[in-house]
Amino acid sequence: MSATPVSTASAASESGKAAVHAPRRGDDRAVDTHCPYCSLQCGMGLVPAPDRPTRVAVTERVAFPVNRGALCGKGRTAPALLASGARLTTPLVRRSPGGPLEEADWDEALARVAEGLSRTREQHGADAVGVFGGGGLTNEKAYLLGKFARLVLGTSQIDYNGRFCMSSAAAAGNKAFGLDRGLPFPLADVARTDCVILVGSNPAETMPPALRYFTDMRQRGGKLIVVDPRRTRTAEQADLHLAPRPGTDLALALGMLHLIVAEGRTDEEYIAERTTGWPAARAAAMAHWPELVERITGVPVPQLREAVRYFCEARSAMVLTARGPEQQAKGTDTVGAWINLTLATGRAGRPLSGYGCLTGQGNGQGGREHGQKADQLPGYRSLTDPAARAHVAEVWGVDPDSLPGPGRSAYELLDALGRDVRSLLLLGSNPVVSAPRAAHVEERIRALDFLAVCDVVLSETAELADVVLPVAQWAEETGTMTNLEGRVLLRRRAVTPPPGVRSDLEVLNSLATRLGWEKGFPTDAEEAFAELRRASAGGKADYSGITYRRIAEEDGVFWPCPESPDGPRHPGTPRLFLDRFATPDGRARFADVTHRASAEEPDEEYPLLLTTGRVLAQYQSGAQTRRVPTLNSAAPGAFVQLHPLLAERVGVQDGDPVAVTSRRGRAVAPAKVSRDIRPDTVFMPFHWAGEGRANTLTNPALDPTSRMPEFKVCAVRVERADD
């Protein structure tokens, strides 16, 4: 393990000492842990700098298989947030309506939270209390948060911002394969396949250490096909870039399947042996002939044919999707159509082939598996399944009938605030910036009777709270995360949090005690994980055979990994579906889908399309990265990317202030004129609040299955801001 520092930042407590635990292996002082940002969960080490013990250095973990020592700028600068000056270190309370947030001690703050939640329950019922979690919470936190909502509060109203991440891919994966795991194979398999279709993903900016796998694949002679309306840094490296009109990914996939059938490139033996539903899916594809698809998508027929040739002539091939096709009101059908390509050509469940989703948030996978999603119980169990309810209720020591049923999805929960849902407990999320139709969401949050927020920093959402509780962050606590491969990892505590800061587990324990539950909410992460293991046993996401010790020994364990008390321990499951799919009959299901228009199409008043995304130096709502000077200087604010033809028509030049207006509001940011985007499309990153808030514009139209909002396409107009 290398101990070469690649970044340092202050992480001192008020006493000026940073406690460092012994490393897992080797004789240096580094503590093996993981980056706090995206779903790669890159391995890193943390160690005090030799010359200044109050500073923490990031060291490379070259042996960790996911990133092999590589880190992006966000990972290298992550310790900057450990400094007390960059984060909350004392509880804040609002002692009078409309008054300022003021410092308070923990007793007062916790008493106010307990009283606020209790008052709402007594006056309006249990479902008038909501809980909103985050995709960055550890498995232990997500598990106990779901338990807290359903037992202590008795509410069904719990969901999390991971609903905005990959819920459409999860729904499509469950329909097709009977199981949803971001990647059903290790990320390393990407480097060894012969062709990848990458749909709506830009890993060069969103998860840079992953880009090496695509680069390695191409150096071996493999082909990379990128589907994106923008020529991103990732698309620049592709062998073929398809730039469809936003919202038409479904038609594009159907058009490719049409050509696969028409050119006789299907694997009929595989289809007969391992799938069902092919006749209907084939008929739907044949209704989307190439010229029609070109008119819908703007992708020329010769490019469609070339993509099909690359994909079908490769010995092994993958389709990987991300937020582009998923964050649509038809996202589940769109992902299902891309999965169809892997089934029709016999790729899914074959070595070095198949379908996968590049999860976004750090624990977007594990966060929904264990209970903070509105319709799920630990182990990826359905909340409406009597057997699942009985199993989890037994672990919790309660009557299954006492567990509430499914609640509202994330946007629907936010939309109900101040009306049906009167109080909210929020952990690790910033919906004032990250939610669609954000101005409306901010209005609903302001209408609450009571809001309590647990966070590391004073986010835009926390600024509206009645109580803000400062909690420990990644390097200051131990817990598990599940990365995009389904690899369960251990993030170790490396430094002590500043005085006045408590862990989320301590907060839940204290609130549960004040609300009448003295047991069942441990403050020790390993104890919480032991209970999670029992609750997940027998479920789709079975963690029962995973322990902290195994994770440390094996650099992570892939679920499902059931416990084997009477035999050799289960090895974990790096690759799913090689023998059978997780459906009752073991066969994969084709999706019977047809193209339909987006929820909002351009018209005379709003003639253009807006799509949103991320930039290299910022992350999600920016609540953390905007507080890191190095990152903020690299990407200091929002912008509007538009094609030179559109810029000329609007009368703007690079850097001029541009107003983008949708049916939901108006955002203003400098123009970034570029030929790397379609002339009918504009792009805005969504990391900023204020007048450049992209999500002021986005459409909350929901996918009927996944309840994913349509972030990636809405109708807008563009004009000079001074007009």
Looking at the predicted structure, is the pLDDT value of residue 49 above 70?
no
> Is 452's pLDDT higher than 80?
yes
The total of structural domains in the chain comes to 4
CATH number of domain containing 409: 3.40.50.740
pLDDT tens digits along 505-517: 999 999 999 999 9
pLDDT at residue 10, rounded to an integer: 39
pLDDT tens string 473-494: 999 999 999 999 999 999 999 9
**Under DSSP, is residue 108 helix (H, G, I), strand (E, B) or coil?**
helix
**598 in a structural domain:** no
Residue 415 lies in a domain: yes
The whole-number pLDDT of residue 48 equals 67
The per-residue pLDDT for range 344-360, each reduced to its tens digit, is 999 999 999 999 999 88
Digit-coded pLDDT (tens) for 357-382: 998 898 989 888 898 999 999 999 99
Distance separating alpha carbons of residues 532 and 392, to the nearest angstrom: 10
**Helices 249-262, 301-313: crossing angle, 10 deg rounding:** 60
For residue 703, the model assigns a pLDDT of: 97
| Residue at token pair 């672990």 | 395
pLDDT, tens digit, 9 for 90 and up, residues 80-115: 988 768 899 999 999 999 899 999 999 999 999 999
Which residues contact residue 296 at a Cβ distance below 8 angstroms, ignoring those fewer than 6 apart? Answer: 245, 248, 251, 595
269 & 342 share domain: yes
Q: Which helix (H) or strand (E) holds 392?
A: helix 386-396
Instruction: List, in sequence order, the alpha helices (H) in 125-154.
Output: 139-147
Closest CA to 427 of 464, 462, 395, 478: 462
Dihedral sign of CA atoms 379, 322, 623, 705 in order: negative
Question: Which CATH number characterizes residue 679's domain?
Answer: 2.40.40.20
How many residues are there in the chain? 723
pLDDT of residue 401: 97
Residue 569 lies in a domain: no
The C-alpha atoms of residue 620 and residue 631 are separated, in whole angstroms, by: 13
Instruction: Let me know whether 399 and 502 are in one domain.
Output: yes
Distance, in Å, from the CA atom of 86 to the CA atom of 627, rounded to the nearest integer, reads: 7
Domain boundary, last residue among 357, 380, 414 = 357
Q: Say if strands 376-377 and 129-133 run parallel, antiparallel, or are unpaired.
A: unpaired
Instruction: Kindly state whether residues 480 and 434 are assigned to the same domain.
Output: yes
Region 515-527: mean pLDDT is: 96
- Same domain for 100 and 150? yes
Q: Residue 669 domain-assigned? A: yes
Residues 539 and 639 in one domain: no
Domain boundary residue, one of 86, 117, 134: 86
Residue 305 and residue 427 in one domain: no
Quickly count: other Cβ atoms within 10 Å of residue 71's Cβ.
23
Measured CA to CA, the distance from residue 524 to residue 479 in angstroms comes to: 9
28 — pLDDT class (breaks 50, 70, 90) = low
CATH for 266: 3.40.228.10
- Residue with the two structure tokens 């971001």: 182
Task: Classify residue 588: in a domain, yes or no.
Answer: no
156 lies in the same domain as 178 = no
Q: What is the distance between the alpha carbons of residues 11 and 494, in angstroms, rounded to a whole number?
A: 10
27-36, 138-147, 329-338, 445-454: segment of lowest average pLDDT? 27-36
Distance CA 692, CA 668 (A): 5
- Among the ranges given (223-237, 399-413, 560-574, 661-675), the one the predictor scored with the smallest mean pLDDT: 560-574
257 pLDDT exceeds 70? Answer: yes
Tell me whether residue 110 is exposed, middle or buried, using C-beta atoms within 10 angstroms of its C-beta: 0 to 12, 13 to 18, 19 or more. buried
| Residue type (1 letter), 676 | D
Rounded (10°) CA dihedral 263, 266, 269, 273: -150
The pair of structure tokens assigned to 527 is 């104890």
Q: How far is it, in rounded angstroms, from Cα 86 to Cα 466?
A: 21
Q: Tell me the C-alpha distance between 62 and 66, whole Å.
A: 9
Q: What is the mean pLDDT of residues 566-582?
A: 94
- Range scoring the smallest mean pLDDT among 217-221, 271-275, 549-553, 563-567: 563-567
Query: Locate tokens 């046993």: which residue?
Result: 537
> What counts of helices (H) and strands (E) characterise the chain?
23, 31
* Angle of helix 106-124 versus helix 504-514 axis, rounded to 10: 60
In this predicted structure, the answer to whether residue 21 has a pLDDT above a threshold of 50 is no
Confidence tier at 501 by pLDDT (50, 70, 90): very high
Reduce the DSSP state of residue 483 to 3 states and report it: coil
pLDDT over threshold 60, residue 27: no
- pLDDT recorded at residue 52: 56
- Residue 601 maps to a domain: no
Q: ∠ CA(567), CA(569), CA(571), 5° rounding?
A: 135
Before 560, cis peptide (omega within 30)?
A: yes
Amino acid at 103: E
Range of the domain at 58: 5-86
User: In the predicted model, what is the mean pLDDT of residues 30-52?
Assistant: 87
Residues 254 and 348 in one domain: yes
Rounded Cα–Cα distance for residues 42 and 63 (Å): 11
**Rounded Cα gap, residues 666 and 718, in angstroms:** 10
State which amino acid sits at residue 689: A
509 within domain boundaries = yes
CA gap 339, 345 in Å, rounded: 10
Mean pLDDT, the chain, whole residue set: 93
| Three-class SS state of 606 | coil
Q: Report how far apart the first and last C-alpha atoms of the chain are (Å, whole number).
A: 58
My answer on whether 289 and 309 are in the same domain is: yes
Answer yes or no: is 590 within a domain.
Answer: no
What is the reported pLDDT for 688? Answer: 97
pLDDT of 22 over the 80 cut: no
pLDDT of residue 57: 87
What confidence category does residue 55 fall into, taking pLDDT thresholds of 50, 70 and 90?
A: confident
Strand partners, 197: 225, 319
Examine the domain organization and report whether 101 and 199 are in the same domain: no
18 shares its domain with 106: no
Q: What is the pLDDT of residue 47?
A: 87
Statement to judge: residues 135 and 212 lie in one domain: no
Last residue of a domain, which of 331, 357, 383? 357
Please name the residues in contact with 673: beta carbons below 8 A apart, sequence gap of 6 or more.
641, 642, 643, 644, 647, 652, 653, 654
Rounded distance, CA 487 to CA 78, Å?
A: 22
Q: How far, in Å, CA of 244 to CA of 227, rounded?
A: 7
The DSSP code for 480 is: E
Q: How far is CA 267 from CA 222, 270, 288, in A?
A: 21, 5, 20
Bridge partners (DSSP) of residue 59 are: 5, 45
The predicted pLDDT at position 2 comes to: 36
Q: Does residue 137 surpass a pLDDT of 90?
A: yes
